[in-house]
Chain A
């Protein structure tokens, strides 16, 4: 069966520090991968999605970036965090043309 992992589960970082959040999927190959963010009091927002290794689409311009170094690995990064980067980050995957998306457990990021 397929599983999706995210780490860390929680993170407290100072403003201006770097960020690296990791998402990995097991039990499938060539998944579509997504990073979403939920800021406090707001709905889920798509940040990046990827349909293959090295293929990243950005939905919202900001100081975050994403990379997909391996088929089942999706990384969200920042060189310098802003207070506004605080939120709950969710990774999700889907397969091919399937309509079903599966969510990871999420990472709660607090920038202080």
Chain B
């Protein structure tokens, strides 16, 4: 069993819809990352959080440490949000990230 599980694996949405991507993990963590990978392959870090909630523009990330669960929400989705969204966890400061398999999001105009 993968230490980091994401759902759904694939998601197609209409422009304007509210989107939720979920991440569950089975290990103790120091922090959790949400990453965005565009079709060309480049990866951008969207959020790093260890508790509570963070918001940046139309993106919101939440984490529940007790339940070992995090969600990434996209409000008013747009075709340019189409990408693979990856959840990754860090168990301590200088250890490598453990990645989920990603959620492929397609937003249709």
The answer to whether A99 touches B48 (Cβ under 8 A) is yes
Smallest beta-carbon distance A80→chain B, Å: 25
Give the A interface residue count (CB, 8 A).
27
The reply on B50 being an interface residue by CB < 8 A is: yes
B residues near A98, Cβ cutoff 8 Å: 93
Q: Name the segment of A17-25, A67-75, A101-109 touching the other chain.
A: A101-109
Q: Name the segment of B54-62, B67-75, B97-105 touching the other chain.
A: B97-105
The answer to whether B101 touches A101 (Cβ under 8 A) is no
The answer to whether A101 touches B33 (Cβ under 8 A) is yes
Bound together, the chains give a CA A98 to CA B95 distance in angstroms of 10
* Known pairs A51-B94, A94-B94; A100 contacts B99 (CB<8 A): no
A residues near B63, Cβ cutoff 8 Å: none
The reply on B86 being an interface residue by CB < 8 A is: yes
The answer to whether A97 touches B45 (Cβ under 8 A) is no
A residues near B41, Cβ cutoff 8 Å: 38, 88, 90, 105-106, 108
The answer to whether A96 touches B97 (Cβ under 8 A) is no
The answer to whether A96 touches B99 (Cβ under 8 A) is no
Contact of B93 among A34, A46, A59, A99 (CB under 8 A): A99
The answer to whether B99 touches A34 (Cβ under 8 A) is no
Q: List, sorted by A's number, 10 A–B pairs whose CB atoms are closer than 8 Å.
A: A34-B96, A43-B100, A44-B86, A88-B41, A94-B93, A99-B90, A105-B41, A105-B42, A106-B41, A106-B42
